[in-house]
Amino acid sequence: MKKLKIEMVHDIVCSWCPIGYKNIQTAIKSLNIEVDFHFIPYELNPEMPANGEIISSYFKRQFGFDDEKLIDYQEGLVKVAASAGVNIDFSKRLKYYNTKKAHLTMHLAERFNKQTELNELLIKAYFEEGLDIDNTDVLLNLAVQIGLERVATEDALFSPQLDQELDRKIERQKSFNIESIPAFILDENILISGSKSVEFFEKTLSDYIK
């Protein structure tokens, strides 16, 4: 049987992306199906400066949240994430960061079929530990953990070729007119938007592969 290709459109700092990722992975394991899983970059804040922005300041500036509304949102988010098996620690995860470099590292990892491993390390590094995933050393340390060579990885991250390859992925993503993430593309043509539940993914995937 041909493997089902699933592409996840995501951003590294998107709170709902790891929830959707964990839920679809749980559904895949529950259905005991083989999939060819890939990631497509979507930068929520491509103009984010190098030092990032405090999350509370971002929500106040972007959405007009006051402290009480932000706390309510974060507490609800933490509960939903925990039910999916994702730990979000807002005592450590204080900032949003520019994610271009992290997406480049993910793209490089795909060459070695290590993208899923790296995604899980990035989830832990950012959402649990609050690490700066725009920092080259942070990304290189994660790359080494999945077996990539440090110097070669650093060279690749600053190469025009890798940048051009990532831009082609971004252009393809734009062709789907995606308005929110996460989103999932089945076999390059069926689009599912949102983090969804395990049950939703189980039903959708099982119906699709029948």
% the chain with pLDDT above 70: 99
The mean per-residue pLDDT over the stretch 119-130 comes to 98
From the number of C-beta atoms within 10 Å of its C-beta (0-12, 13-18, 19+), residue 115 rates as: buried
Q: Which tokens is 56 given?
A: 């509370």
Contact predicate 142/83, CB 8 Å = no
What confidence score (pLDDT) does residue 1 get?
58
**pLDDT tens sequence across 28-55:** 999 999 999 999 999 999 999 989 999 9
Q: Measured in whole angstroms, how far is the alpha carbon of residue 72 from the centre of its chain? A: 23
| Eight-state DSSP code of residue 181 | S
Model confidence over 92-112: pLDDT tens digits? 999 999 999 999 999 999 999
Whether 10 has a pLDDT exceeding 70, the answer reads yes
Of residues 51, 48, 43, the one with CA closest to residue 167 = 43
Q: How confident is the model at residue 121 (pLDDT cuts 50, 70, 90)?
A: very high
Place of tokens 């599912």: 192
Q: Which of 15-19, 100-104, 166-170 bottoms out in mean pLDDT, i.e. has the lowest? A: 166-170
Helix (H, G, I), strand (E, B), or coil: what is residue 113?
A: coil
C-alpha to C-alpha distance for 84 and 183, rounded to whole angstroms? 17
In the chain, how long is the greatest CA-to-CA distance? 52
29/5 Cα distance (integer angstroms): 15
Are 107 and 165 in contact, with CB atoms under 8 Å apart? yes
Question: 141's torsion region: left (phi>0), alpha (psi -120 to 50) or beta?
Answer: alpha
Residue 143: pLDDT band with limits 50, 70, 90: very high
Can you give the pLDDT at residue 179?
86
Q: What pTM was computed for the model?
A: 0.95
Tokens 């929520």, residue located: 44
pLDDT in tens, 110-119: 999 999 999 9
Residue whose entry in the numeric block shows the structure tokens 């899980």: 120
Domains of the chain (ranges, CATH numbers): 4-209 (3.40.30.10)
What confidence tens digit (pLDDT) does each residue in 181-198 have? 999 999 988 999 999 999
Q: Please, are residues 122 and 39 in contact by the beta-carbon 8 Å criterion?
A: no
pLDDT of res. 210: 81
Mean pLDDT of 140-156: 97
pLDDT band at 209 (very low <50, low <70, confident <90, very high): confident
> Does residue 182 have a cis bond before it (omega within 30 degrees)?
yes
